[in-house]
Structure 1
Amino acid sequence: MFEDITPEALAAEVLFLRAQAPESSIVLLEGDSDVRLFENLLDVDISNFVNCFGKENVLLTIEMVDEGGLRGVLAIVDADFAAILGTVYASQNVVQSDFHDFEVVLFNSTALDRLLTEDGSREKIKKVQETNSVREVLINSCLHLGCLRLYSQKTASNLKFKGMRYRFLGRKLEVQIDEIIKEVFDHSRKHTGHDDAKKFINNFSFSTVDPNQLVCGHDLIAALGVALQSLIGSRNAVHCAAPELESKLRLGFSREEFSKTRTYADIRAWEHRTVPFRVLH
């Protein structure tokens, strides 16, 4: 099935949608979770969202659409490490998340506060907040892993992070660099490169970057799930699974908060450039 999801096939789908609705905007997204998020934030018919199953497919598809001169097609992608690496997209039809990905955007909204009120322990959260905010604790627990993700991208190491068990996350979110590297390299079935990765992390200037551009939303959600079982709550593991937590964050994210993001401003600018096509309410 996934072998059939090529940029060529996706571009053909865009052409079909345009033929069906010549005046409707079409939005390219990276995956299912993005479709569920933006279905509630944008004024676009669900049939005009195209799940491209990955950022690379989104960018290659919009490139083909641009070359074909088709207007009214917008690509929305995760920023990933764009702010750190200085990545610039050639197409004016691409907008990106304010932070590393849209999960990090949700994490920095009041959606997290609502989730903590519902699922967290008031007493435990109060104790944590004597030294740091819950957000800071969770972000700090994921910084080194985010840096390892950056290392993998910069060195083309092709480390595998999807499906990781996050065993290195202790009950109090106290993490060790060696344990992170070992788990990721074991998960990736790589037996060499540990020292280079550790050197990269140890030499990285964390103070020079915005942590929200470095950490990955999936890692934050995993850390949140662990924290809700002990550090800031007493939830059972079954209720702290990533899909459930991500769903709660999406549901708690309002259009009003979305309207204050840079992504929203960039989409509004896109609408002005692409009259009469619109995607915002």
Structure 2
Amino acid sequence: MRDFLTVDRVANQIRLRRSTYTGTFLLVEGSSDKTFYTRFVDQLVCELVETSGKPSSKQRAIEILKILEESNFQGVLAIVDADFDRFETLLYTSPNLLRTDSHDLETMLINSPAFNKVLAEFGSEEKIAQFTQDVRLVLIENGISVGYLLWISKSNGLNLTFEGITFSKFLNERTLQIDELKLIQEIKNKSQAFSLNEKDMQERLKSQKSNNHDPWQICCGHDLVEILSFGLRKALGSNKAADVEPNSLERSLRLAYEEIYFYQTQLYLDIKTWESKNQPFRVLRNYT
């Protein structure tokens, strides 16, 4: 139902809720984000509000925050995925708007010890040992090609479709290396962008990769999980596709993510800073 509510309606609901609730309102993008952050939030003093819908959950979270801030509403905080924000001129900044440490929540999960647990659970020790690199590095070195193409598409208004691309069409099942031309062809076909010049896209991708950006800011977590899912069927393990499908793996990563990992993030420190500047409002559970 929330998908059909305008940002004004959601902002008004929060204002009305304030008459009976004195705690913090924490805006998060989607249901998986809400599930994740609920573990660290003191629900007696902080209420999570999911902002999923169109045009995008992130944009909706920011718009709702702006509306509330313009009316001097106190005790509201938004946490959104960083995406490519750290490389772009931001349209809106606010001390009440925080971003994930890396590109998104899923990359934060993969770049934590939770990943090692999931890999140990679903992977084959013998097969993993055949890789000369850490599996995490294999994922980000290949996932970065998809991330850069997404950034190129967004920056140039190409409106290419990345959702639903079939990774098996451009991933080597033995090495997990990406064939970049086949990747571009798959995105071109999925987008029905038949006038897209493949060689030009290859050159743009090559140019972007030469900038040596932090791959954790470029790679999309969902893409890394797709590569991991593909790898756990043959290169890294012997699982059936249904047992390691991406949504299931992301759920496993969230479950394997311990509180102590969160306490070591910049996001945690940012929330603590927000709490200290916005007393008496609180977000996090106290821990010892």
Same fold flag (TM > 0.5): yes
Q: Contact 2:144 / 2:215 at 8 angstroms: preserved in 1?
A: yes
| Correspondence for 1:18 | 18
Structure 1 gaps of 5+ residues are none
| Correspondence for 1:112 | 115
Q: Contact 2:24 / 2:46 at 8 angstroms: preserved in 1?
A: no
1:260 and 2:259 equivalent? no
Q: Contact 1:27 / 1:75 at 8 angstroms: preserved in 2?
A: yes
Aligned-partner residue type, residue 144 of structure 2 = L
| Correspondence for 2:158 | 157
Q: In structure 2, the residue corresponding to 1:20 is in which secondary structure? A: coil
Q: Contact 1:102 / 1:217 at 8 angstroms: preserved in 2?
A: yes
| Correspondence for 1:170 | 172
Q: In structure 1, the residue corresponding to 2:172 is in which secondary structure? A: coil
1:231 to 232, 235, 257: 235
| Correspondence for 1:203 | 207
1:139 and 2:140 equivalent? yes
1:123 and 2:123 equivalent? no
Distance 2:264 2:19 in 1: 34
| Correspondence for 2:273 | 269
TM-score, L = length of structure 1 = 0.94
Distance 1:170 1:32 in 2: 33
Structure 2 gaps of 5+ residues are none
Aligned-partner residue type, residue 154 of structure 2 = Q
Deviation, 1:20, is 2.6
Deviation, 1:19, is 2.2
1:96 and 2:95 equivalent? no
Distance 1:160 1:44 in 2: 38
Deviation, 1:13, is 2.3
What percentage of aligned pairs have identical amino acids? 33
Aligned-partner residue type, residue 274 of structure 2 = W
* Cα deviation 1:99-153 (Å, max 9, x = unaligned): 000100000101110001111101111111xx20000011112111111011011
Deviation, 1:161, is 1.5
Q: Contact 2:112 / 2:261 at 8 angstroms: preserved in 1?
A: yes
Distance 2:158 2:216 in 1: 23
1:83 to 82, 86, 93: 86
Deviation, 1:83, is 2.0
Size of the aligned set, in residue pairs, is 278
* Cα deviation 1:176-232 (Å, max 9, x = unaligned): 111111111211121122333222101124452111011000000100100100111
| Correspondence for 1:63 | 66
Aligned-partner residue type, residue 9 of structure 2 = A
Q: Which moved more, 1:161-170 or 1:270-279?
A: 161-170
Distance 2:187 2:277 in 1: 43
* Cα deviation 1:233-262 (Å, max 9, x = unaligned): 111100111111000100111111101111
Distance 1:36 1:164 in 2: 26
TM-score, L = length of structure 2 = 0.92
Q: Contact 1:39 / 1:46 at 8 angstroms: preserved in 2?
A: no
Distance 1:278 1:47 in 2: 7
